[in-house]
């Protein structure tokens, strides 16, 4: 019994996500967001609350779309080693493409934050820790299945692969191409212990 929204909420969220991905949370202004979304500020605030909540929703949308390949890779591969290898390889491909902004939004969108955006910084920090824990879980599977030497430092391996992925994100934003990222990914697999031990 009332006027209905004249824009596509999902499409607007998608455009907001791309803007945040490109320049990060604080550096993306409401003016830039409304321009990218094709709407005016009151429509944005009515549909999404405020800038912080729009960002949180954009991050959730990111994890369900562009960032979902990591969760898929970890879930679908039979062994921890294959899961890690696939995450690295697909990260190389995803980070270096020109179909969307470079690198990973969770890694790069809230690095330079003032005190007033500390909560946003903390949100992405938590997601990075969750991602590292997800890597460790699959590596632990290999350890439990005897595919890794007893006593293997799985937490250290998870931190190592998380670091490699974070570095790949940085370098993709610095202009590195798919081939260069793939070479990083391949070299990183040399650190994965062989079943028999060192």
- Which residues contribute to the site for a copy of itself (CB under 8 A)? 23-29, 107-115, 117, 125, 128-129, 153, 155-157, 159-160, 162-168, 170-171, 173-176, 180, 183-184, 186-188, 190-191
Provide the minimum distance between the beta carbon of 132 and a copy of itself in the complex, in angstroms, as a whole number.
Answer: 8
- Whole-number Å distance between alpha carbons of 153 and 157: 6
Q: Which two tokens stand for residue 73?
A: 């890779």
Q: Which two tokens stand for residue 111?
A: 């690095």
Check if the beta carbon of residue 128 is closer than 8 Å to that of residue 106.
Answer: yes
* Of positions 11, 35, 46, 145, contacts DNA by CB under 7 A: 46
Q: Which two tokens stand for residue 51?
A: 């800038």
Q: Which does 69 bind (CB under 5 to 8 A by kind): DNA, a copy of itself, none?
A: none
Give Dmax (Cα) for the chain.
Answer: 71
- Whole-number Å distance between alpha carbons of 138 and 78: 10
Q: Specify the stretch interacting with DNA by CB under 7 A; choose among 2-10, 73-81, 118-126, 154-162.
A: 2-10
Residues of the shown chain interacting with DNA in the complex, contacts defined by CB under 7 A: 1-7, 26, 28-32, 39-47, 50-52, 114
């Amino acid at each position: 019994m009332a006027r209905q929204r004249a824009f596509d909420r999902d499409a607007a969220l998608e455009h907001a996500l791309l803007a945040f991905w490109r320049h990060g949370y604080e550096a993306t202004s409401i003016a830039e967001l409304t321009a990218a979304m094709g709407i005016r500020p009151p429509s944005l605030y009515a549909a999404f609350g405020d800038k912080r909540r729009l960002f949180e929703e954009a991050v959730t949308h990111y994890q369900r779309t562009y960032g979902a390949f990591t969760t898929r890779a970890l879930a679908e591969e039979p062994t921890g080693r294959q899961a890690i290898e696939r995450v690295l390889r697909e990260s190389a491909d995803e980070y270096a493409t020109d179909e969307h902004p470079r690198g990973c939004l969770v890694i790069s969108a809230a690095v330079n934050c003032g005190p007033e955006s500390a909560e946003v910084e903390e949100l992405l920090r938590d997601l990075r820790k969750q991602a590292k824990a997800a890597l460790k879980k699959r590596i632990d599977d290999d350890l439990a299945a005897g595919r890794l030497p007893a006593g293997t430092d799985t937490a250290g391996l998870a931190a190592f692969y998380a670091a490699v992925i974070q570095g790949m994100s940085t370098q993709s934003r610095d202009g590195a191409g798919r081939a260069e990222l793939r070479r990083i990914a391949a070299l990183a697999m040399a650190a994965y212990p062989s079943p028999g031990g060192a």
